[in-house]
Amino acid sequence: MSVSSYIMIMLVALICGLGLAAQDMNLYPLPADNPQVKSAASFLLSRQNADGGFGSSTGEESGLIPTCEAIMAMTALNENLSYQKQGNPLHYLLANHALLANLSNVEAQTGRFTVALAAAGVDPHNASGRDYAAILKSYSKPTGGIGKENYIWDDAWAIMGLAAAGESHSGPVSKAAQYLKGTQTSSGGWSWNGAPKGEDSDTTSIIICALMAAGENSSSEAIQNGLNYLRSEQNEDGGFSSLGSNAATDGWAILAIRAAGQNPREWKIGSADPVIHLLSLQGKDGSFWWKKDAQGMTFEWTANGILALAGGSLPVK
């Protein structure tokens, strides 16, 4: 082989390699075998107990909330529900359903619980004889709101729970969606208590997810204004603001962008985007920290991060 031929072959290989690298940098969703996704999944599984449920930290007893979060995340990766331990997380949920009554914001937690049941393949209308769709509907108020006054995360989770039960076009969902659109602020965002000011990126993101689950068109004024608000809260590092860029807000924003039919990797600020920023907050154990210098609720951020990075949705499909 001549020197010129060798050089040409190497140049072609280099160009192809650079092209692949560029593609990888813009890849979304991330596949289940992506090293950082696998590491995050391993972190979650390290918190599974023998009863099948999950605790938020090492040695912590199983709880409904972390178990729901784990089911949603791992289902997005098409993982078998038996996971690594003897117990099954779905069995844990069904056996401990009564604990829902002890949780604060029971309406929101029932919605999350219903999403997790559906993600695990259970019909929420008949989960060991209980109809969680009917329970969620019972929280509906004449105003269209669902659950507590001055708190709209429960409305969002209830909508997503009913959508997971196949009732995205039911009366309570339609009324709740209209109620939520009526609480949108002039900036396009939403505040956690439904107030006309005080909007934040986390609340705005979950409301976008809920409205899309309720059948809202992504081109609607409510969704477009919500996305515009999120863009106004995106920082130069690619992340989204809630006391500065953080993993919790990144995860919710990515889910909202995905729900609206857009690719979060295309939300660039320079070379940064929300996926790059979220991945930058992953620790050596696979968990996602709230910020680089603050752990926060790592189990929740990691579960939501997996769902976001893997191209998942709420409710989980």
Distance of alpha carbon 43 from alpha carbon 139, whole angstroms = 35
Residue 160 has, within 13 A of its CA and on its CB side, a CA count of 31
Closest to 153 measured CA to CA, from 117, 97, 188, 202:
202
3-state SS, 155-210, equals: HHHHHHHHHHCCCCCCHHHHHHHHHHHHCCCCCCCECCCCCCCCCEHHHHHHHHHH
Q: In this predicted model, what pLDDT tens digit does every residue of 12-41 receive, in sequence order? A: 333 333 333 333 668 999 999 999 999 999
Per-residue pLDDT at 10: 35
| H helices present in 234-285, as ranges | 247-259, 274-280
Q: In this predicted model, what pLDDT tens digit does every residue of 118-165 receive, in sequence order? A: 999 999 999 999 999 999 999 999 999 999 999 999 999 999 999 999
Could you give all domains of the chain from N- to C-terminal order, each with its CATH number? Answer: 34-309 (1.50.10.20)
Per-residue pLDDT at 317: 84
Q: Which residues contact 10 (CB under 8 A, 6 or more apart)?
A: none
Nearest-5° Cα angle at 43, 248 to 266: 45
Distance of alpha carbon 208 from alpha carbon 197, whole angstroms = 17
DSSP state of 6: H
Nearest-5° Cα angle at 148, 111 to 189: 80
Residue 306 scores a pLDDT above 90: yes
State mean pLDDT over 210-227. Answer: 98
Q: How far is CA 279 from CA 73, 106, 236, 261, 282, in A?
A: 16, 32, 15, 21, 6
Per-residue pLDDT at 85: 66
Strand ranges in 41-96 using DSSP code E only, listed in sequence order: none
Helix, strand and coil in the chain, % to nearest 5: 55, 5, 40
Under the banding of pLDDT at 50, 70 and 90, the label for residue 84 is low
Closest to 164 measured CA to CA, from 273, 315, 270, 11:
315
Per-residue pLDDT at 80: 81
> For the chain, first and last CA: distance in Å?
54
pTM: 0.91
Name the β-bridge partners of 269.
272
How far, rounded to the nearest angstrom, does the alpha carbon of residue 310 sit from its chain's CA centroid? Answer: 10
Distance of alpha carbon 235 from alpha carbon 231, whole angstroms = 9
